A = this chain, B = another copy of it.
Amino acid sequence: MSALPEIRVRPVTDIGGQSAPAGNPLSRKEQEQLRDIAKVLDCKPGTTLYSQGEQARHVYLIAEGIIRVNHCEETGHRQILVFRVPGDFCGIPHEGHYFNFAETVSNALLYRFEWVQMQQVFLTEPHLQLVLLGKILHDYRQAQMRISSLGQQNTCQRLASFLLDFIAIPEFFDAERSRLTLPVNRFDLADYLGTAPESTARAFAKIENLGLIRRITARRIDILDKTGLRMLNRTPRRRNSGHPDTASFKKHEPADLKRYESVLACK
């Protein structure tokens, strides 16, 4: 088992202000403990790791590849909750069952743990549990941002947010050429954004017309104006919300906002 690569958790700068170091938050000892109970899996694209409602025994840690985690409504409609990348966990049980589906989008290399065994390790290694707590808190924040996004932003803005999220991951963004390689097709993207694939295409067309991106192919996109993408989200979707007397979030307007008037107008 010692021939395995390092067990890496994607670092999260969380847990009450003590920013984690940029490297692997797992100590050598914790890695050993995990390695002892880990099974390594190599999966082809389209493999289902687990299904919604199933009895949950295993937790997964992604070493390579990308996983799509989605939840299905009773109607059969699919909402992609999150795309998982290396260093992320998935499959933590909810009342003993899986709460959603997890499927590989690309080839993937995974560590699989028995959840009960992992909980045993937690009791002797409280710090490891803190690391997991930090990861879950991070995911929770991310989920909250998506709630906000789905509730308050229109399709273009949600697409812009999505692009910005993936620009932040070096694996998908070549900063040199400013070229983004999307790991998913339009169907998956639409289900992630909560729209139809056609609407996604139209949103791409719109922000391309604004000069913010250029589509090379469907999956390869040059980012022409990252700031412009951020500015898109400055435009409200709806008139107003909340009472006037509610504590609201007065934002300091940056001075160079005029440059992005056309973006903010957003036709």
Contacts and interface: CB of A to CB of B under 8 A. Distances in A.
Interface of A: 13-19, 46, 48, 51-53, 56, 70-79, 81, 92-96, 99-101, 103, 115-116, 119, 122-123, 126-127, 129-130, 132-133, 136-141, 143-148, 150-153, 187, 190-191, 193-194, 196, 233-239, 241-243, 245-251
Give me the 3 closest cross-chain CB pairs, A-B, nearest first. Answer: A151-B194, A17-B96, A72-B249
Nearest to A188: B242
Nearest to A143: B143
Contact of A92 (B77, B137, B237): B137
Identical chains bound together, number: 2
Contacts of A251: 74, 76
A27 to B, nearest CB: 15
Contact of A236 (B75, B123, B151, B241): B75
A152 B246 contact: no
A122 B127 CA distance: 9
B243 A187 contact: yes
B129 A96 contact: no
Contacts of A96: 16-19
A153 B73 CA distance: 9
Given A73-B152, A133-B129, A153-B73, A247 B51 contact: yes
Of A46, A74, A140, A151, most B-chain CB atoms within 10 Å? A151
B147 A147 contact: yes
A119 B71 CA distance: 33
Contact of A143 (B19, B92, B123, B147): B147
21 contacts: A17-B95, A17-B96, A48-B247, A71-B148, A73-B152, A74-B233, A75-B233, A76-B236, A76-B248, A76-B249, A77-B152, A77-B238, A78-B242, A81-B144, A94-B138, A123-B127, A129-B130, A132-B133, A133-B136, A146-B147, A152-B194
Contact of A247 (B14, B71, B103): B103
Contacts of A193: 151
Given A16-B115, A148-B71, A194-B150, A236 B143 contact: no
Given A115-B16, A126-B129, A233-B74, A79 B152 contact: yes
Contacts of A150: 147, 150-151, 194
